[in-house]
Structure 1
């Protein structure tokens, strides 16, 4: 257990340039505290204590601003940077070495008790305020841009952005304003 705690602290130190010491990280990083509380809540849920698991999860949300359902699966070295507003739903699966920024939602799209939340494979980075909805898969090493809305699978090692999120490099139907003659928009011509 202590090896995992040290591993989490080392991950924060190596990932966040603002982190100055292991003690600082252990005492003041709410994303780290949320991950630790999730482990306790998950153990309670697995041990047949769902109410206790939800109470621990709720207290962690109050203390950290990060809501991780006890039923969610988190891998090793998950780092939640500036965690306020992060929501990880019940059937979400988060792989190893995943980085989530503030305001990320891994949300469901069904009221049925089925797999309804995203799966993030190893090495995924999700930018601030991104929303990922449904039983989608974000492939290994992929990046989701800040503010993106993702409702479809993302291939491995791909960067997506926008609403709806698309792989970078895909162009819109209409060129940006600066590419129109005289700087006008298509609607003004």
Structure 2
């Protein structure tokens, strides 16, 4: 048998299924969905019409943290929902409990953990890691190998360059005190973060801030200001010609 489709799965019109694909109980595939070879669609996952799931992707899997992990799995975690017209790359892993908006691209080898919200027309590049409880606004772009830590928030039209690292724990896993302070960065509308920059726990990158490559942001920034250095310091205003049209 080249594929396995549970009898309770609902498959729309014009759906194309690759070889050795598994569609589990209660999954819903909208019209004109394309599913590649060796794909697993876990139970109850919803895939919007016209979306493409590439070879070897795993969508809707339950999280299974280590025994020592601080993450607790909700037994009532809702199904993964993938919007219309999305492209989910090869070898991606998308967890149950997240919602992916319309026309989102998740590139090869990326993963998105549980309880994340990704709004419409977002680009998540190759090898990007999005941890649990992350919010990503519409038309945001996250490029290759960036790391978006748990409890981060990226607003609309944010740009995250390759290799950016975000952090959420100043105690790095030591002491019970850390649980009161765990918080990822907030990156406000239109802000841009350059390659290999590091955002420390809880910082707020203000609207239209520009963070230079390699900078370490350890405090909140001012709007429409260029920051560079370790630690990051304000250099000059962002030129008016580079600001978003409002």
- Residues 82-111 of structure 1, C-alpha deviation per residue, up to 9 Å, x if partnerless? x12x11111111010000110001111244
What residue number does 1:73 align with? 135
Q: Which residue number corresponds to residue 60 of structure 1?
A: 110
How far residue 116 of structure 1 moved from its aligned partner, in angstroms, is 1.8
Change beyond 3 A, Cα 1:93–1:153:
same
After superposition, residues 166-185 of structure 1 pair within 5 angstroms as: 166-168=233-235
Q: Deviations over 1:86-143 (max 9, x none)?
A: 1111111101000011000111124434442110000000000000011110110101
Q: What is the Cα deviation at residue 164 of structure 1?
A: 0.7
Aligned to 2:185: 118
Unaligned segments of structure 1, at least 5 residues: 1-25, 29-36, 170-189
Which 4+ runs in 1 deviate beyond 6 A?
A: none
State the TM-score, normalizing by the size of structure 1: 0.57
Higher normalized strand content (fraction of residues): 2
Q: Match for residue 155 of structure 1?
A: 222
Q: How many Å separate the matches in 2 of 1:90 and 1:128?
A: 20
Q: Which residue of 2 aligns with 1:94?
A: 154
Unaligned runs of 5+ in 2: 1-51, 62-72, 81-92, 96-108, 113-124, 237-246
**SS class of match (1:64):** coil
Which whole-Å CA distance do the structure 2 matches of 1:154 and 1:79 have between them?
Answer: 20
Query: What is the distance in 1 between the residues matched to 2:76 and 2:136?
Result: 19
Matched residue, 1:104: 164
More RCO (CA 8 Å, sep 6+): 1
* TM-score, structure 2 as length reference: 0.44
